[in-house]
Amino acid sequence: MDLEAKSREVLARFTEEGHVRQSLEGRKYLTPFVVGLLVECAGKENIFTSGPELEKHSADHSHHLPCLPEAVIYPRSTEMVSEVMKICHRQRVPVTPCGARTGLEGGCIPLGGVSLDLSKMNQVLKLHREELQVHVQAGIKKEMLNDYLEPQGLFFQVDPASNPSLGGMAACGSSGTLCCNYGTMKENVVSLTVVLADGTVISTRRGVRKNSTGYDLTHLCMGQEGTLAVIAELVVKVTPLPKGESSLQVAFRSLQDCSRAVLRLREARLGLSRCELLNRQSVESLNAMSAGKPLEVVPTLFLQVHAISEEAAAQEVASAQGIVAECGGEGFVVATGKEDQKALWDLRRAAYYACQKNRQHMVHYGAKDIRMLSTDVCVPLGNFPRLIEETEQDYAATARATKVPLLCNIFGHAADGNFHCVVLYDHDNVRDREVLEALDRRMWSRCLALGGSVSGEHGCGMGKVPALQAEWGAEAIALMWRLKKCLDEQEILNPGKLLPARGRSPTKTSVHVVELPKLVRRSRKDHFATAGFKPLHTFLQAEPSKEALLA
Ligand SMILES: Cc1cc2nc3c(=O)[nH]c(=O)nc-3n(C[C@H](O)[C@H](O)[C@H](O)COP(=O)(O)OP(=O)(O)OC[C@H]3O[C@@H](n4cnc5c(N)ncnc54)[C@H](O)[C@@H]3O)c2cc1C
């Protein structure tokens, strides 16, 4: 299917589901008159209405089908964003902001209208050294900011494994591998300059460390995925580079042991800066990709401490080693030098792309349109191993029963109870798609029943919308819609994303939560014993009963 045809399919689906306010078939939002107005305000060199730029902006890193915008605009300043928004507001043209397009939920895939690409607004505006804050434009990427900060002895402490824009990170409420010590974007943004749907520019807070006046507009504009406002500038916290850092790689016989070690490490309050878990399949994929010495194919933890000196870091790592050894950790690899640590963490960062190594497997199977589904669930830490285990079991049992090749790569930010399940599939094969979708939804249901959230850091985009009502409840969704209407009356900002279509009751494809049996502890020590109940998926229904829905 060509790109035009795929775009029509996507638009038709979103229109039918009530996300897009009118059918776009045969009708464009951008008339030559509106294009003329936009060219006048943005300049000919910053606007594209045909060619490869449209294609480039039709997709992100997710598995979702692409959809072409009608125009791509590269604003160069906050004022230019404001002028573009004023025109689009008056002409009711949808606007989908985008940064580096590394999103994994289709959040920046435009459903027609304008793709507003902030990547050329990528300047550091001012470093406030004494405040440990930096003022930047939203399109600056994480690595570019760190290249600027490093010579000043500083770094930006939110570290996704990708290289996204700071605006995109704030819009998604991103985090990453450094979260256990430094927090997520939500803890590290001081203030934002945002442009509202009608072009109004506001600053959400002054650059002070504390503030208790007015509503918290900063947090309202975070995690909103471009549906409430365009983030044009940010003031974020930065941190002095650690004087000492040391890393540790540990192998475990079981996920239970691995997870127990994570809980013990957290309790010990070590200066743990990174704590990442990989399941067996992920280790196998990494081995297939890496030219180095292969890792033992068992659940593995990668740890790092940041400390005030090299000695302190070495001491903390030794303490960590003692704790994980008590929990069954073995095969320790300690990395202290810069190069060794870089190699270790580059390996962890490669976990996502290593899954592509399973491609050959899919080619043998006869797959035609190989896509990679990447999920992102977060549960209270005590339920983390249970969710991973049940997910692995469900994948293995489903693969056996359906003969669909489903290699379940799980890796994640263990200390936050957040993991990703990454799997290749054949998008052309309707049955395979349905099998995978059902698996994914069972994982969401399980996660929600265990008190979790269907996204810890990737956001909702277009992928998680069916689960939002089950996670938040109808009243909270109604409030979100009221906020949306208040800020974006014409619903031009990123339509079809984050919020379920208004006035629709949960559909057949929505996720419903069914209560799960309680965890049974075998003993005080066996924190995660799950004996005494059937596999969780036997409790999860594809179609809920009327009673479950009413409850
Ligand atoms: C290999 C890989 C590893 C990853 N690892 C992590 C990880 O460890 N942690 C993590 O949190 N994420 C991770 N991600 C996901 C992704 O990098 C994040 O979601 C990131 O925040 C997206 O930023 P972006 O600039 O690429 O945004 P885009 O993909 O361009 O957009 C994402 C969403 O934000 C909105 N948006 C973008 N810019 C703005 C703006 N200026 N104003 C308003 N809305 C805006 C878009 O409309 C869209 O809804 C990973 C992705 C990949 C491919």
Strands laid side by side in the 47-48 sheet: 47-48, 71-73, 114-117, 95-98
User: Is a pLDDT exceeding 70 seen at residue 493?
Assistant: yes
Orientation of helix 255-267 relative to helix 310-326, angle to 10°: 130
Which H/E stretch holds residue 392?
Answer: helix 384-402
Average pLDDT over residues 367-395: 93
Residues 176 and 271 in one domain: no
Ligand 1 binding pocket includes 348 (Cβ within 6 Å):
no
Secondary structure class of 234 (helix, strand, coil): strand
Average pLDDT of the chain is 89
Is the pLDDT higher at 512 or at 13? 13
Contacting residues for 388 by C-beta, under 8 A, at least 6 apart: 255, 259, 279, 410, 419
User: Is a pLDDT exceeding 80 seen at residue 531?
Assistant: no
Residues 102 and 132 in one domain: no
Which residue, judged by its Cα, is nearest atom 2 of ligand 1?
162
pLDDT tens readout for residues 48-102 = 999 999 999 999 999 999 999 999 999 999 999 999 999 999 999 999 999 999 9
Residues 59 and 179 in one domain: no
Residues 92 and 220 in one domain: no
Q: Which of 318, 349, 380 is the last residue of a domain?
A: 349
Q: CA torsion sign, 249 to 253 to 257 to 259?
A: positive
Instruction: Please check whether residue 354 lies inside any domain of the structure.
Output: no
Which CATH number covers residue 248? 3.30.70.2190
Residue (of 304, 221, 225) closest to 270 by Cα position: 304
User: Quick count: other Cβ atoms within 10 Å of Cβ 82?
Assistant: 19
Q: Which of 94, 117, 140 is the last residue of a domain?
A: 117
User: Is a pLDDT exceeding 60 seen at residue 126?
Assistant: yes
Return the exposure string of 94-105: e unless at least 16 CB atoms fall within 10 Å of the residue's CB, then b: bbbbbbbbbbbb
Q: Which of 323, 349, 375 is the last residue of a domain?
A: 349
Which CATH number covers residue 177? 3.30.465.10
Residues 140 and 197 in one domain: yes
Q: Residue 24: what pLDDT?
A: 52
Among the atoms of ligand 1, which is closest to the Cα of residue 497? Answer: 49
Residue (of 284, 270, 273) closest to 247 by Cα position: 273
DSSP E strand stretches across 265-408: 272-278, 300-307, 330-335, 370-374, 377-378
d(CA 21, CA 16) in angstroms, rounded, equals 10
Q: Residue 492: what pLDDT?
A: 95
User: Is a pLDDT exceeding 90 seen at residue 210?
Assistant: no
Q: Residue 321: what pLDDT?
A: 95
Residues 317 and 446 in one domain: no
Residues 508 and 450 in one domain: yes
Ligand 1 pocket test: which of 72, 172, 352 has the largest number of ligand atoms within 8 Å of its C-beta? 172
211 vs 136, 206, 355, CA distance in Å? 21, 8, 44
Instruction: Please check whether residue 106 lies inside any domain of the structure.
Output: yes
Confidence of residue 514 (pLDDT cuts 50, 70, 90): low
Ligand 1 pocket test: which of 60, 95, 104, 421 has the largest number of ligand atoms within 8 Å of its C-beta? 104
Residues 340 and 364 in one domain: no
Q: Residue 12: what pLDDT?
A: 86
Amino acid identity, position 114: V
Among the atoms of ligand 1, which is closest to the Cα of residue 169? Answer: 21
CA 2 to centroid of ligand 1, rounded, Å:
26
Which residue is it, tokens 């997709």?
Answer: 59
User: Distance of alpha carbon 201 from its chain centroid, rounded?
Assistant: 27
Average pLDDT over residues 270-284: 93
Average pLDDT over residues 405-426: 94
Q: Residue 534: what pLDDT?
A: 32
Among the atoms of ligand 1, which is closest to the Cα of residue 456? Answer: 11
Which residue, judged by its Cα, is nearest atom 15 of ligand 1?
103
Q: Residue 537: what pLDDT?
A: 34
Residue (of 223, 243, 190) closest to 480 by Cα position: 223
Residues 198 and 63 in one domain: no
User: Is a pLDDT exceeding 60 seen at residue 523?
Assistant: no
Which residue is it, tokens 């000492």?
Answer: 244
Q: Residue 525: what pLDDT?
A: 34
d(CA 304, CA 273) in angstroms, rounded, equals 6
Ligand 1 binding pocket includes 106 (Cβ within 6 Å):
no
Q: Residue 527: what pLDDT?
A: 32
Number of domains in the chain: 4
Residues 505 and 366 in one domain: yes
How long is the chain?
Answer: 551
Confidence of residue 8 (pLDDT cuts 50, 70, 90): confident
pLDDT tens readout for residues 330-351 = 999 999 999 999 999 999 999 9
User: Quick count: other Cβ atoms within 10 Å of Cβ 495?
Assistant: 22
Residues 428 and 530 in one domain: yes
User: Is a pLDDT exceeding 60 seen at residue 137?
Assistant: yes
pTM: 0.91
> Facing residues of 104 across strands?
none
Strands laid side by side in the 229-237 sheet: 124-128, 133-137, 229-237, 189-196, 201-203
Q: Residue 266: what pLDDT?
A: 87
Which CATH number covers residue 94? 3.30.43.10
pLDDT tens readout for residues 442-463 = 999 999 999 999 999 999 999 9
Secondary structure class of 511 (helix, strand, coil): coil
Instruction: Please check whether residue 411 lies inside any domain of the structure.
Output: yes
Instruction: Please check whether residue 370 lies inside any domain of the structure.
Output: yes
Which residue is it, tokens 């000695």?
Answer: 311
Angle at 466 between CA 460 and CA 472, to 5 degrees: 75
β-strands 124-128, 133-137: how paired? antiparallel
Ligand 1 binding pocket includes 275 (Cβ within 6 Å):
no
CA 134 to centroid of ligand 1, rounded, Å:
20
Q: Residue 539: what pLDDT?
A: 34
Q: What is the dihedral of CA 325, 407, 63, 138, to 10 degrees?
A: 10
Instruction: Please check whether residue 72 lies inside any domain of the structure.
Output: yes
pLDDT tens readout for residues 422-434 = 999 999 999 999 9
User: Distance of alpha carbon 519 from its chain centroid, rounded?
Assistant: 29
Average pLDDT over residues 240-257: 94
d(CA 249, CA 303) in angstroms, rounded, equals 6
Q: Residue 453: what pLDDT?
A: 97
Among the atoms of ligand 1, which is closest to the Cα of residue 224? Answer: 44
Residues 379 and 506 in one domain: yes
Instruction: Please check whether residue 355 lies inside any domain of the structure.
Output: no
CA 207 to centroid of ligand 1, rounded, Å:
24
DSSP state of 398: H
Among the atoms of ligand 1, which is closest to the Cα of residue 138? Answer: 41
Which residue is it, tokens 């570019």?
Answer: 144
β-strands 244-251, 300-307: how paired? antiparallel
Q: CA torsion sign, 504 to 507 to 510 to 513?
A: positive
Least-confidence region, from 34-48, 481-495, 498-512: 498-512
Which H/E stretch holds residue 37?
Answer: helix 32-42
User: Is a pLDDT exceeding 60 seen at residue 530?
Assistant: no
Instruction: Please check whether residue 321 lies inside any domain of the structure.
Output: yes
User: Is a pLDDT exceeding 90 seen at residue 114?
Assistant: yes
Instruction: Please check whether residue 291 lies inside any domain of the structure.
Output: yes
CA 464 to centroid of ligand 1, rounded, Å:
15
Confidence of residue 290 (pLDDT cuts 50, 70, 90): confident
Domain housing 339:
244-349
